[in-house]
Amino acid sequence: NRMREPKVLCCCRLQARKGLQGTAAASFLHYLVYTLNLRPRQLWPYQVAFTHASQPLHTSEGQIINNERLEFLGDSVYNLCVTHYLFDHHPPFNEGQMSLWRNTLNSRQFMNGVAMRMEIPSMLHGSFQTSTGNTYGNALEALFGAIYLDRGLKAATRFFREMMLKKFVEPRLLLALSRQSPNGPIAAYLDPKSQFYQWAQKHHRTVEVRCNWLDGATAQAEVLLDGVPICHGLGRNHKLAQRAAFQKALEEVEPECSVQSTECR
């Protein structure tokens, strides 16, 4: 089968070079190549991406490694892939519409759902609480960081457009995107920040958010409506603090439009 030959060669070549035949690493490589259609040059970044902090890897020098740093990098890589895609494929979208879709495609609910369709939970290492679900979305962001380190931005962009969107995203969401409509199915994917911006746009209000660190472990976000502070939220990073703040903001301005689930990373 000519379509499968490049994958077979990729697997065999990397397994032989690294001596992986018959190992757990060989199984993981098979997953990367056949399920995710990746062509890794090196396996290490991907192994780190799928390593939760509850069960870190250890280098020969004794350094403890997990996927949190790759998640930090991958968050920016993924956002750039999303933004570039919206800019290229949906030129009729204005800035507000692109922001709404970018927030949707970067929401926790969306990322977790895609990660589960990618079978990331079965490949993730760690003794984490699966009930939170956000561990999977975090690993997906770390995967984008690994692709970027291993193959570059072009490969990450290709993976987002040719694999993630086409194979692992719900068709109804892509249909809404292709119709250039931010309504209907998209509402189920909106996080509090996206919902609040949508509400503000509808009511012709201006929104501003300010973030700062209270200490080394706690971030604070403050939401301003028409220049007036209305609430603040706390979290272990700015993204979580903003989520908490916008959840409160929704309850302040229009309780019935606030989300029911407040899962955080």
Give the active site residue among 5, 119, 141, 252: 141
Q: Which residues contact 204 (CB under 8 A, 6 or more apart)?
A: none
Going by C-beta distance under 8 Å and a sequence separation of 6 or more, which residues neighbour residue 182?
Answer: 97, 100, 101, 104, 176, 198
CA-wise closest residue to 182 among 106, 101, 103:
101
Our answer to whether residue 141 is catalytic in this structure is yes
Which residues, at least 6 apart from 248, have a Cβ–Cβ distance to it below 8 Å? 223, 231, 232, 233
Among the listed residues 75, 119, 252, 263, the single catalytic one is 75
Amino acid at position 191, single letter: D
Whether 81 and 144 have beta carbons less than 8 Å apart is answered as yes
Residue 75 a catalytic site member: yes
Distances (CA, A) of 59 to 50, 62, 147, 180, 211: 16, 5, 21, 48, 35
Question: Residue 180 is encoded by which pair of tokens?
Answer: 């250039």
Per-residue burial over 81-112, b if 16 or more Cβ lie within 10 Å, else e, is: bbbebbeeeeeebeeebbbbbbbbbbbbbbbb
Q: What are phi and psi of 230, to 5 degrees?
A: -120, -25
> Which residue type does 196 have?
F
CB 75 within 8 A of CB 237: no
Supply the residues annotated as catalytic: 75, 141
